[in-house]
Amino acid sequence: MSIISGGLRSLLAAVAAVAVTSTMCFESMSLRAQQRRSIDTTADTAATFNIPAQPLASALNRFGDVTGLQIVYAASLAEGRQSSALVGVFKAQDALARLLANTGLEFRFTDAHTVIIQAGRNSSETRTLGPVRVEGSSRTGTAGTNGSTDPTATEGTRSYTSSALSIASKLPQSIKDTPQSVSVITQQRMQDQNLTDFTSAMNQATGVTLVTTNSLQSTFYSRGFAINNIQIDGGAPLAMNLVAPDGSSSHYFPLIDMAQYDHVEVLRGADGLFNGYGDPSGSVNLTRKRPLDHAQEVVEGQIGSWNNYRAVVDATAPLAFDGRLRGRAVMSYEDQDYFYDTATNSHTLLYGILETDLTPSTLVSAGLSFTRQDSLPWIGGLPRYQNGADLKLPRSACLCSGWSRWNFETTEVFAQAEQHLGENWSLKLNLTRNDQESHQKYSSITGTVNPVTGSGPTFLGTMADYASVQTLADFTVNGAFELFGQRQQIVFGGNWQDLDSGGLNTYGALYAKGRAVDVFNFKPSDPAYAEPAASELSGRYPEWGVTQWGAYVNARLTFWGPLHLITGLRVSHYQFDRITETICTSADVAVVSSRCTAAGQVRGAPNVKNYGSHDTSWPPTVSLVYDLRKNLSLYASYTDIYLSQATFADQAHNPLDPVTGSNYEAGLKVEGFGGKLNATIAAYRIEQKNQAVSDGGYVPLPNFVACCYRNGNQVNLSRGIDAEVTGALLPGLQMSAGYTYNINEYRGSDYYASYYGDAYDGPRNLSLVSRVPKHLLKLWTSYQFQGGEQLRRLSVSGGVNAQTASYNAGSACIDYTYGTSPTGSPTATCTRSVPYNYTQGAYAIFSGRLAYKLDSRWSAAFNVNNVTNRLYYQTTGSSSGGNWYGEPRNVVLTLRGSF
């Protein structure tokens, strides 16, 4: 049987969901991530063993515990076989040879830390093990775990930490050696905590606060600022919430299924060197699953509360050319309701990737993913009383209609190439094109509730078409050289982002004016709230685009053994282009410059805007790392903040200076147990200033959004402490614990004058984002029992997400004057508003998991979330809407098979 046909059969069998009948089951036996530069165990390393004769599977497990080596084998090979006793001090390869004696099996090392067990090749399986064969890896570069070519991969490690991350350096680098606050959510954590989508994964990231915007979306806050960028495989940033200074925005919605990703990396704080213009919040890197060097098929099925059903098939195998061509395919389907009425969501993911070693030093991969999502959304959340008091509606209440819909299609095509130039230098090219289209037609209810009459909220309808095409490219050169008797490292390159959201179409309101609604007795079936006819096109964006490019250099310099200087410089260019057309929705409407003679007519000339800026980051990013010991380091870092404001003009018609600022951070990092445990603590201070404020009214200008503005004296401050411990505390015990203390506030009179008027005399230090709590704790632990074979099949997990109080304050409109715009669209102008102020108290949400390995192939897990059924608001909005309950107690049963 040829390798090509055998590999394709393995891949297609899993994709056809018949992997449950397969006779080959591959499993990876490594208790936790191994940090390659710190691990001492290799084929030639000696260790002390005391493994009695026993079933082979458990003996290999014990061998992996002692050596930290990753053992990969077909589970059927171990069935019915007994190991020989192994007592004494042996080199790893000699110990494994003794352990496999008289089993008819042999082994080979694919790299320094990965061993494959296989049947003997030259005689029947009952023969004595022949000569030991130790082979080097044929992979390009440093291989990751479980047969992946990605050195940051976490699949198969069973660990809650990682040996290396690339988000802050463009190079695989240990957490200890990264002079910024970085975290990882590994594949094992995603499985244990059932983190199936991007939102649920971010909800478990240290220091990240979620603010729900609708049933499908959330905004993620870190250190008091919204996270706006996602990297994929360390490439150029994919924009999530890019808003132009005129208020228009891009329309990419990160509705991401995590089945296609190996792990998530999160950087907290500014990352102005590699991610374009510096944003003080942080950035996220999603790392795709790569093909493995051996056949593996995984099937997974779930059933959970509120009719939540999910299925995943994940298959990988060598396909041809003696394993130099490898493939992987992932399919997932999920259909879910919510704990509140009416709303639903379903989506399908298809992901495929091919990877090949073109030469011993050249690795190339390419693939695509496609997601279709059909949903009945809830937009708007719950309102409150005029003063902010809780309406105390049941958690099952949904102010949404059965005719609402928001459907998406997202296609992503990508390619990567890595070229090694000798031992110390390499090139990497990363290309991605992300194309997303969506159409929405939905109802929403907004408006504060009068505490006496219960009136106030109104029922509205909206239609829109969205489109976003992002083309991303990132090219890096990295290398190492000797200078002053020390090893120096350097990375230089550039990235390019082209974002086109020109497919946006807006439509007139679905109702002539808002319809009064009683939120205490809302009935979606009421004919008054029946689905209206589609409204007419009222506006479109033939062009809405952003082009960014940047060139960067980053060096890690060592002039004295324990002291390292990391510094870098970036040159950036930013270009924004927008063309807006206003469409008449009715005829014969008098306007200032023209008349609408027919519906659908473009009124006047298109509104054309374009502007750009070109800047060099200065002062440069700089960090110092001092190695107190081999596994203990101190660091201090500075990163600049720079956001272009070229769209705002001053009274002399010159563009404003950029938003600037600084990110200072200092901390201590510890690496324990040979890289199996990472602990960090850091203090930080962020300052952002020079934001635009109004300075004399609105005057449209060519190539600028508006005049006149000036750089304000408002200062946005954020300071606090981050602490995190991840990895193995004891054999079988994994933990991820993250604590964040954050204070964020506005300072300066311009902020208060712009919001409250020049006569404002209230408090001057208001929170930048009051919904971000001062104290935030996220803890999850898992223990796999270490006793006999039956007990070792059992694992228990548990954790808590806890935070202190958060609050919201502002004012809400209670009276409107309704009219018609020059194009015929209905308008509503606020004529009276009232203040509100309310607090969500501190809360703690406990969750747990019980898992049992049924046999060598199948396992079952039972997750319970919000064990105490705590009633709380996960997100607080205004008194007019945007308030969202947290999920009540819910359960998920998972059946997983690995072949």
What's the pLDDT at 766?
61
User: Closest Cα partner for 547 from 649, 655, 473?
Assistant: 473
260 pLDDT band, cuts 50/70/90, is very high
Query: How far is 684 from 269, CA to CA, in rounded Å?
Result: 8
**Residue keyed to tokens 């050249």:** 362
What's the pLDDT at 825?
57
What's the pLDDT at 10?
39
User: Closest Cα partner for 739 from 685, 687, 682, 684?
Assistant: 682
What's the pLDDT at 696?
66
- Identify which has the larger pLDDT, 97 or 300: 300
**Average model confidence (pLDDT) for the chain?**
83
pLDDT at 756 over 50: no
Residue 259: Cβ-neighbour burial (10 angstroms; 0-12, 13-18, 19+): buried
What's the pLDDT at 697?
60
For the ranges 60-64, 88-92, 234-238, the lowest mean pLDDT is seen at: 88-92
Of all residues in the chain, the percent with pLDDT exceeding 90 is 48
What's the pLDDT at 727?
95
Task: Please compute the mean of the pLDDT values over residues 846-865 and round it to a whole number.
Answer: 96
Task: Please compute the mean of the pLDDT values over residues 735-748 and round it to a whole number.
Answer: 91
- Identify which has the larger pLDDT, 245 or 741: 741
DSSP state of 583: B
Rounded alpha-carbon distances, angstroms, from residue 274 to 231, 238, 346, 498, 659: 10, 12, 35, 16, 18
Q: Which of 101-115, 177-191, 222-236 has the highest mean pLDDT?
A: 177-191
pLDDT at 634 over 50: yes
Task: Please compute the mean of the pLDDT values over residues 380-396 and round it to a whole number.
Answer: 94
The letter for the amino acid at 588 is: D
Judge contact between 584 and 608, C-beta under 8 A.
Answer: no
Task: Please compute the mean of the pLDDT values over residues 591-601 and round it to a whole number.
Answer: 64
Query: How far is 235 from 276, CA to CA, in rounded Å?
Result: 12
Query: How far is 516 from 528, CA to CA, in rounded Å?
Result: 10
User: Closest Cα partner for 561 from 484, 613, 472?
Assistant: 484
What's the pLDDT at 19?
33
- Strand ranges (E), 199-295: 208-212, 218-222, 225-226, 229-232, 238-239, 261-268, 282-288
Residue 748: Cβ-neighbour burial (10 angstroms; 0-12, 13-18, 19+): middle
What's the pLDDT at 783?
96
User: Closest Cα partner for 175 from 674, 679, 740, 730?
Assistant: 679
The letter for the amino acid at 356 is: T
Q: How many Cα atoms are found within 13 Å in the side-chain-facing hemisphere of 626?
A: 7
What backbone torsions phi and psi does residue 121 show, to the nearest 5 degrees? -95, -20
What's the pLDDT at 39?
37
Contacts 24+ apart (CB under 8 A), 49-53: 49/86, 49/87, 49/88, 49/89, 49/90, 49/95, 50/86, 50/87, 51/83, 51/85, 51/86, 51/87, 51/99, 52/85, 53/82, 53/83, 53/84, 53/85
Query: How far is 350 from 366, CA to CA, in rounded Å?
Result: 14
Q: What b/e readout covers 544-563, taking b as 16+ CB neighbours within 10 angstroms?
A: bbbbbbbbbbbebbbeeeee
Task: Please compute the mean of the pLDDT values over residues 337-342 and round it to a whole number.
Answer: 96
What's the pLDDT at 810?
81
pLDDT at 470 over 60: yes
Judge contact between 676 and 161, C-beta under 8 A.
Answer: yes
Task: Please compute the mean of the pLDDT values over residues 551-567 and round it to a whole number.
Answer: 92
What's the pLDDT at 206?
97
pLDDT at 411 over 60: yes
DSSP state of 19: G
651 pLDDT band, cuts 50/70/90, is confident
User: Closest Cα partner for 519 from 386, 404, 400?
Assistant: 400
What's the pLDDT at 593?
47
The letter for the amino acid at 658 is: P
Task: Please compute the mean of the pLDDT values over residues 136-161 and round it to a whole number.
Answer: 71
- Identify which has the larger pLDDT, 59 or 359: 359
pLDDT at 646 over 80: no
For the ranges 35-39, 371-375, 441-445, the lowest mean pLDDT is seen at: 35-39
pLDDT at 132 over 90: no
163 pLDDT band, cuts 50/70/90, is confident
- Identify which has the larger pLDDT, 794 or 19: 794
pTM of the model: 0.82
Judge contact between 18 and 11, C-beta under 8 A.
Answer: no
What's the pLDDT at 671?
92
What backbone torsions phi and psi does residue 540 show, to the nearest 5 degrees? -150, 160
User: Closest Cα partner for 548 from 646, 477, 466?
Assistant: 646
Task: Please compute the mean of the pLDDT values over residues 525-531 and round it to a whole number.
Answer: 89
Query: How far is 811 from 332, CA to CA, in rounded Å?
Result: 44
What's the pLDDT at 27?
33
478 pLDDT band, cuts 50/70/90, is very high
Q: What is the DSSP string of 717-737?
A: EEEEEEEEEEEEEETTEEEEE
- Identify which has the larger pLDDT, 73 or 354: 354
The continuous run of DSSP H or E covering 77 comes out as helix 75-78
β 563-582/621-629 pair status: antiparallel
The alpha helices in 120-233, defined as continuous H runs, are 187-192, 198-202
Task: Please compute the mean of the pLDDT values over residues 642-646 and round it to a whole number.
Answer: 75
Q: Which tokens in the block code for residue 708?
A: 């006149």
pLDDT at 137 over 60: no
- Identify which has the larger pLDDT, 859 or 615: 859
Q: Which tokens in the block code for residue 645?
A: 């404001």
